[in-house]
Structure 1
Amino acid sequence: MTLSTDQLTLRCDCSTCVEAMPSCDGCDLPTESALPSDDHGDVCVTCAKSIGLYPCAECPTLIADGDTCNVHSAPQPDSFVCGDCRSCRTGETSFHATDGRELCGICVEAYHQCDGCSLFDEYSTAAENSDITQTFCYPCGRDHGYYECRSCESLINHGDYCATHIDNAAYDSIHSYDFKPEPIFHGIGPRYLGMELEINVPRGELASCVDDATEALGELGYLKEDGSIARGFELVTHPMSYRWALDSFPWQLLSDLHAKGCTGDGIGLHVHISRAAFADSFHIYRWMKFVYRNASDVQRLARRYSSYAAFDDRERVLVKETCKGERIPPRTLAINTQPEDTLELRVFASSLDAGEVQAALAFADASVGYTRDLTISDLAQRGAWNWNSFTQWLLTRPKYSPLTRELESLACAC
């Protein structure tokens, strides 16, 4: 139910009444408020606003901003009362939106009246269950026990998807959080990297983005649920060598997902490094010490400061005990040592920028290579723990150019 802008009464939506309404010349849908325009025929309020036309302050004739009506010579006023249109010179705004704005009788037609609070909201939607269909603004929907379908804005009271999307086969491609298939190795090891890229997907685009991701990944990876993602998925790859990843990962997929409105805002990118990539426990010790000692530089590169990827001074001190297997630190540290076959570098912010993701893989691979053969003399006399020593080492290894480019970009941004 919405209000008629002509009679300001509840409109009947039965087929008889709908057929009796005039049609908008813009969208061809029935409307009770078809307004005349010079070039576009009789159009509804929504179509009028989309083409930059507004009702005259004295009559329903549509005019462009700054023009005057052919019948009434008075110009448009400098200020208007209604939060949406430019015709409410008299201040007759009897309808209230959920965000506090006042609406006139013309603009309110484009809104929905919430069955919970009786206010008007542009984005209210029907709430579905087996017994009743109501229209709520989202706050009232939540108060009544509803939540959004993971694919669209429909409110539901059970499951993950509304009736329209529940049977969509694409959702079978998003596996549960604990899904762990047998790994498929790509490239030449033993230094393999596994990427977990968390992705936010906009409302209404989940099925399309799932299809794009699964088609592009093929056997290289799969999608999983993750509790930190409100709507979206975690893109997980099978183990890849760094060079194979640069050459063969479907990087265009990231641009395609970004074009559909996907983001990495507020979520993470994790890189698993195979334990077989390390020469021995002393190598793991040197690598972990290097990462923890350079926390500020690593976090700047990672674009993330998060309690889910924490740099803890106590953990830095206890790295030796961790490497000996004498203790098991929490998984939410910068380096998660709990996986049996990998070490998980959790520090990076998620991104759909291919250069930033490549830089994350490059740092994971390069830092392991850099710390592999460090000697006590390197550490004590030549400052090998220092970030500058690492960046100078990178300059002699062109294969890590995604990382050096990202470091140069960060330096220029200072």
Structure 2
Amino acid sequence: MTITGDHLTLRCGLCSSPTTERQLTAAGQQACATCLKSMQLCDYCDLPTAAAAPTDDHGDLCVVCTNTLGLYPCDECPTLIGHGDTCSVHSALRPPTFTCDHCRTQRTNETASLATHERKFCNACVGAFHLCEDCNLFDEYSTAFDDNNSTQAFCNGCACDHGYYECQRCERLIYQGDYCTIHIDQAAYDAIHSYNFKPEPIFHGTGPRYLGMELEINVPRGQLGECIDDATGALGELGYLKEDGSIDHGFELVTHPMSYRWALESFPWHLLDNLQAKGCTGDGIGLHVHISRAAFANSFHVYRWMKFVYRNASDVQILARRQSSYAAFDDHERVMVKETCKGERIPPRSLAINTQPEDTLELRVFASSLDIGQVQAALAFADASVSYTRDLTISDLAQRGGWNWHSFTRWLLTRPKYSPLTRELESLACAC
């Protein structure tokens, strides 16, 4: 740079000739118009550069931007690439390589087989693995499952997603039950009848007020065969076992009709203790009590009984230990009880009282339980509520609070045979 008179003269940093241009190159040098014409612009910083190198994705870059971005020339051409990469031209010419995640060997000219957990296997290793028929990936933990004598292969993740689990005696995956078809004790499973099974009733005790119990029971996996044997052995001709859609793994214990007194004295109550000791529960499922229609004096008696149950919904639900859409207390149904008793309408079966059975009325309100006292209290309430409402008069209802829960519990105190119900009510009152 020189000063001539009042003018400042710049010199080109490339050819040293005087220039009035004030354009700097990417390297920070002054450049004359002649030199600028021979330069190209860096595609990253937009400044003129005497030496620009091509890249795969950034365009042509000056030396400064190349260093800033950490790029290097390809081993086989001037194309700038990231460290350890290969330019697109020469990478396409090279054979594919990958490292097998099983033997850790780098493989060339071979297509990797994809496996679960984002792994890749070489041809030599993939034969030791199974191809999952759901996700189409290989996995060393794939296991065949048995379903209607057919086998497939699933990885653990897909098997779990579809609800499969291992047979208790081998590694085959099954969808229901405890055992695959190879290991199942078919005789034991035949004891669980279908949902629609309904044998000819065998009556026990003195009628006409008979109760039939349906007790839904959850059974731990691996215990089903043994629990079936316990239940069928203890019940004998008193009852049988059925499937039920609300039970994930277990059965519904159904009794033939029993009088209340006979049930207290002769039902094998020790069975509930035995099943509970094996881990069985009534969690999330129900206990239903069928009451013979012959137990009611007439349709007016049915009306009084249904009204009593519906009018005391909150107290009944406390006793029953549950509120459920499968045993609903519906205000509309309470209002329409008279029409139901006359046979003018058929309400849904999922109400607190199911009136659809031909020979019984089903009280569906109770939570299942393997506690002997709670189950006996359920039977006691079914029997006592029918007995209580049998002789209620208009005066009892209008003047003496016959509909009230308090009147019913006071009536219970004079009838010792319902002591299981009285004890349960006292226990619930103390708990509150």
Tell me which interval the TM-score lies in, with the shorter structure as reference length.
0.5 to 0.7
Map residues 361-372 of structure 1 onto 2, 5 A cutoff.
361-372=379-390
- Whether the 8 Å contact between 2:210 and 2:292 is mirrored in structure 1 is yes
Give unpaired runs (5+ residues) of structure 2.
1-100, 104-116, 118-129
Q: Which residue of 1 aligns with 2:72?
A: none
What secondary structure is seen at the aligned counterpart in 2 of 1:240? coil
Task: Establish whether residue 346 from structure 1 lines up as the match of residue 364 from structure 2.
Answer: yes
Q: Write the letter of the residue equivalent to 1:377.
A: S
C-alpha spacing 1:146/1:373, structure 2 compared with 1 (3 Å) = closer
Give me the TM-score of the superposition, normalised by structure 1: 0.68
Q: Which residue of 1 aligns with 2:402?
A: 384
Task: Establish whether residue 229 from structure 1 lines up as the match of residue 247 from structure 2.
Answer: yes
Task: Establish whether residue 173 from structure 1 lines up as the match of residue 179 from structure 2.
Answer: no
The answer to which of 163-172 and 192-201 deviates more is 163-172
C-alpha spacing 1:120/1:257, structure 2 compared with 1 (3 Å) = farther
- 259, 266, 271: which one aligns with 1:248: 266
Q: Which residue of 2 aligns with 1:220?
A: 238
- Kindly state the Cα deviation for residue 160 of structure 1 after the two structures are TM-superposed: 8.6
Task: Tell me the matched-pair count.
Answer: 303
C-alpha spacing 1:413/1:158, structure 2 compared with 1 (3 Å) = closer
- Kindly state the Cα deviation for residue 162 of structure 1 after the two structures are TM-superposed: 1.1
Q: Which residue of 1 aligns with 2:335?
A: 317
C-alpha spacing 1:118/1:266, structure 2 compared with 1 (3 Å) = farther
CA distance in 2, matches of 1:218, 1:356: 23
Cα offsets for 1:104-138 (capped at 9, x unmatched): xxxxxxxxx997799999xx97634667565643x
Identity %: 77
- 207, 228, 235: which one aligns with 1:210: 228
What value does the CA root-mean-square deviation take over the aligned residues? 2.9
CA distance in 2, matches of 1:311, 1:208: 37
- Whether the 8 Å contact between 1:198 and 1:269 is mirrored in structure 2 is yes
What secondary structure is seen at the aligned counterpart in 2 of 1:210? helix
Map residues 295-314 of structure 1 onto 2, 5 A cutoff.
295-314=313-332
C-alpha spacing 1:346/1:358, structure 2 compared with 1 (3 Å) = same
C-alpha spacing 1:332/1:127, structure 2 compared with 1 (3 Å) = same
- Whether the 8 Å contact between 2:363 and 2:382 is mirrored in structure 1 is yes
Q: Which residue of 2 aligns with 1:401?
A: 419
CA distance in 2, matches of 1:328, 1:408: 36
Between structure 1 and structure 2, the one with the greater Rg is: 2
Cα offsets for 1:72-98 (capped at 9, x unmatched): xxxxxxxxxxxxxxxxxxxxxxxxxx9
CA distance in 1, matches of 2:198, 2:151: 40
- Whether the 8 Å contact between 2:139 and 2:155 is mirrored in structure 1 is no
Give me the TM-score of the superposition, normalised by structure 2: 0.65
C-alpha spacing 1:297/1:134, structure 2 compared with 1 (3 Å) = same
- Whether the 8 Å contact between 2:185 and 2:225 is mirrored in structure 1 is no
CA distance in 1, matches of 2:376, 2:178: 33
Q: Which residue of 2 aligns with 1:329?
A: 347
CA distance in 1, matches of 2:315, 2:167: 37
C-alpha spacing 1:250/1:339, structure 2 compared with 1 (3 Å) = same
What secondary structure is seen at the aligned counterpart in 2 of 1:163? coil
- Kindly state the Cα deviation for residue 167 of structure 1 after the two structures are TM-superposed: 4.4
CA distance in 2, matches of 1:203, 1:331: 31
- Whether the 8 Å contact between 1:127 and 1:136 is mirrored in structure 2 is no
C-alpha spacing 1:189/1:131, structure 2 compared with 1 (3 Å) = closer
- Whether the 8 Å contact between 1:362 and 1:403 is mirrored in structure 2 is yes
Task: Establish whether residue 147 from structure 1 lines up as the match of residue 164 from structure 2.
Answer: yes
- Kindly state the Cα deviation for residue 142 of structure 1 after the two structures are TM-superposed: 4.8
Q: Which residue of 2 aligns with 1:195?
A: 213
Q: Structure with the greater relative contact order (CA < 8 A, sep ≥ 6): 1 or 2?
A: 1
- Whether the 8 Å contact between 2:163 and 2:175 is mirrored in structure 1 is yes
- Whether the 8 Å contact between 2:376 and 2:420 is mirrored in structure 1 is yes
CA distance in 2, matches of 1:256, 1:367: 30
- Kindly state the Cα deviation for residue 318 of structure 1 after the two structures are TM-superposed: 0.2
Q: Which residue of 2 aligns with 1:89?
A: none
- Kindly state the Cα deviation for residue 163 of structure 1 after the two structures are TM-superposed: 2.3
CA distance in 2, matches of 1:264, 1:201: 9
C-alpha spacing 1:236/1:165, structure 2 compared with 1 (3 Å) = farther
Q: Which residue of 2 aligns with 1:259?
A: 277
Give unpaired runs (5+ residues) of structure 1.
1-7, 11-97, 99-112
CA distance in 2, matches of 1:193, 1:150: 38
- Whether the 8 Å contact between 1:151 and 1:231 is mirrored in structure 2 is no
